[in-house]
Amino acid sequence: MSTTFSMQGIRKSFFGVEVLHGVDFAVERGQIMALCGENGAGKSTLMRILAGIYVQDSGTILLNGAPVRRYSTPLEMQKLGVSMIHQELNLIGELTVAQNIFLCREPKNGKGLINFNRMNENAALVLERLGETIDPKCRVGDLKTAQKQMVEIAKAISFDVNLLIMDEPTSMLTGKETRVLFDLITNLSAQGIAIVYISHRLKEIIDVCHQVTVLRDGSVVATRRVSEVSAHDIAALMVGREVKEECADNFAGDPAALILEVKDVSDELLKNVGFSLRKGEILGFSGLVGAGRSELMEVIFGIRKPKTGRVLVEGKSVTVKSAIDAIKSDLGFVTEDRKETGLVLCRDITENSNYVFWRKTRGFFKGKKTTSENTERMISRLSIRCSGPDQMVSSLSGGNQQKVALAKWLLSDAKVLVLDEPTRGVDVGARQEIYRIIRDLAAEGVAIVIVSSDLPEVMGICQRVIIMHEGRITGELCASELSEEKIMYYATDV
């Protein structure tokens, strides 16, 4: 059997951190190869290199044994038959289906203008190959999500495709639409197209794929035939790293001192989610990307409107319609994306750390003295490294920015503090400092919720962990029961 595509010894670093350590990967004609791994294992990076979006630092890509030129652009790789469908849809809503499929490759007539008739005919042919009946003249913005996905696939196979890479193609599809997609994948593979299928849903992999390659921390740990492994085995392979020594203890405070209760939260994504939190407890939320953890926190904080659901703070029901209501109920929320929703980058540390404090206190003026005392206190307590309180936040390092985002809520005297991915993009040293601050806060009686995709982080700091999968709570573990395998088991809902 001839190998269609192979990658040998691929290495890649971002900002001096190596994320792929010499990866070998191969996929054959007509094969459906699953690519698995935790968040950040390097799956998407590896496939983006194969699709020509990133350039590897070293290593080679071979097509039928012949090396492919380094620095090949996505368009050149597409001409060699590699197409990638990204996790987020990359379509232009205002253009028609046909225009999207043939974007930048529009058939021209003699005068150099676009030949719309031919474009629409060609688009119809491609869609027919997929067994789809979407009108090529339809505006993409008017289509349903599943149909958009089909247009993406049509666009991908409209190149003479030999290898199709799909990054989490089912994350936005319903069960029925997923089955249609699987039929299509099987069909394409029968036509001799090789497929790389990236997914967190291990069941799907077992159902549709021939082989599975598991990546962990930027290296391949195993390549197996799907018929020889179970979903459990794959989960174990994904986690498999040595479990860190450091492990949190069970919650030792008063189990009756409930401070936050969330009941029956439901909307399009979340399904009857509820949990409770005690004073001084550190509760973790684990799960894969898209499990609905951040969305749940946004509901609690009044950013997202649920269909049903109640929030109780210290036993009293509270109506949280916007962030200010949550702030007045002594809730705090350090968001996942500090650049988008956490900080005003073009302002200084003083302003950024005092916004919530100012909102909570009365008076027209800021109060120069209190404000600067607040800031000084936070800079020393959180050891924020800066040239002074008037340094612009945009010029701070990631870790120090995160500390400023944290300072904003510490100054508000929040009783419940939600931290969404508190150490994303934070270097190792600052990470330990943030853990120390979290533990200190809990010791002072602040109840803490940590949403994190980083398993060692969850294991190291949380006294109790709730695991979510597709909008539902699938498991709850206390610190003494924690293991990465168990979390991954609940997170993939096998």
Partner 1 sequence: MEAVKGRFGLRAQVFVKKIWREYSVLVVFIVIIGICGLFAPRFLHPDNLLNILRNTSIVGAIALGMTFIIIAGGIDLSSGAVLATSGAVLILLQRMVNPDGSAVVPLPFAILACCAVAVGFGFVNGIIITQAKLPPFIVTLAIGILARSVTMYFCRGATIMGNNIPQFTDIGNGSVFNIPIPFIIIIVLAIIFHIVLTRSKFGTYVFAVGGNESASRFSGIKVNRVRIATYMIGGLCTGIAATIEMSRMAAVAATTSGNQYEFEAITAVLVGGTSLVGGRGRLVGTIVGFIILGIVNNMMIMLNILPYLSGAVKGAFILFAVLLQKRER
370 binds partner 1 (CB under 8 A): no
Q: Which is nearer to partner 1, 15 or 365 (CB)?
A: 365
Residues 286, 274: Cα–Cα separation, whole Å:
15
Q: How far is the CB of 355 from partner 1 (least distance, A)?
A: 4
Candidates 34-42, 133-141, 350-358, 429-437: pick the segment binding partner 1 (CB under 8 A). 350-358
Task: Using CB under 8 A, pick the residue from 267, 351, 421, 454 that binds partner 1.
Answer: 351
Q: Which is nearer to partner 1, 153 or 331 (CB)?
A: 331
71 binds partner 1 (CB under 8 A): no
Q: Which is nearer to partner 1, 248 or 327 (CB)?
A: 327
347 binds partner 1 (CB under 8 A): yes
Sites for partner 1 among residues 8-47 (CB under 8 A): none
Beta carbons within 8 Å of 101's beta carbon, 6+ residues apart: 122, 123, 126, 136, 151, 154, 155, 158
Judged by CB under 8 A, the number of residues near partner 1 is 29
| DSSP single-letter state for residue 371 | H
Residues 374, 352: Cα–Cα separation, whole Å:
11
Q: How far is the CB of 359 from partner 1 (least distance, A)?
A: 4
Sites for partner 1 among residues 258-317 (CB under 8 A): 301, 303
356 binds partner 1 (CB under 8 A): yes
Q: Which is nearer to partner 1, 289 or 324 (CB)?
A: 324
Q: How far is the CB of 333 from partner 1 (least distance, A)?
A: 7
- CA dihedral of residues 450, 451, 455, 457 (deg, nearest 10): -30
Q: Which is nearer to partner 1, 103 or 344 (CB)?
A: 344
Longest dimension (CA), the chain: 81
358 binds partner 1 (CB under 8 A): yes
User: What are the distances in angstroms from CA 345 to CA 159, 384, 392, 393, 454?
Assistant: 42, 16, 7, 5, 26
Sites for partner 1 among residues 157-196 (CB under 8 A): none
Question: Could you tell me if 332 and 409 are in contact, meaning their C-beta atoms sit under 8 angstroms apart?
Answer: yes
- 58-63 and 3-14 strand pairing: antiparallel
Q: Which is nearer to partner 1, 51 or 320 (CB)?
A: 320
Q: Angle CA(217)–CA(218)–CA(222) in degrees, nearest 5?
A: 85
Kindly write out the interface string for residues 313-342 of this chain, putting x where it contacts partner 1 by CB under 8 A and - elsewhere. Answer: ---------xxx-xx-----x-x----xxx
Residues 306, 471: Cα–Cα separation, whole Å:
12
Both tokens of 28, joined, read 């054959």
Q: Which is nearer to partner 1, 179 or 360 (CB)?
A: 360
Residues 49, 39: Cα–Cα separation, whole Å:
17
368 binds partner 1 (CB under 8 A): yes
230: three-class secondary structure by DSSP = coil
415 binds partner 1 (CB under 8 A): no
Q: How far is the CB of 176 from partner 1 (least distance, A)?
A: 34
Candidates 157-165, 353-361, 395-403, 427-435: pick the segment binding partner 1 (CB under 8 A). 353-361
Q: How far is the CB of 204 from partner 1 (least distance, A)?
A: 34
Q: For 341, phi and psi rounded to 5 degrees?
A: -120, 0
Q: Which is nearer to partner 1, 118 or 366 (CB)?
A: 366
Residue 296's nearest CA partner among 461, 459, 468, 173 is: 468
Ramachandran area for residue 105 (φ above 0: left; ψ -120 to 50: alpha; else beta): alpha
Alpha helices for 53-174 (secondary structure H) = 74-79, 97-101, 116-129, 145-158
Binding site for partner 1 (CB under 8 A): 301, 303, 322-324, 326-327, 333, 335, 340-347, 351, 355-356, 358-360, 363-366, 368, 408
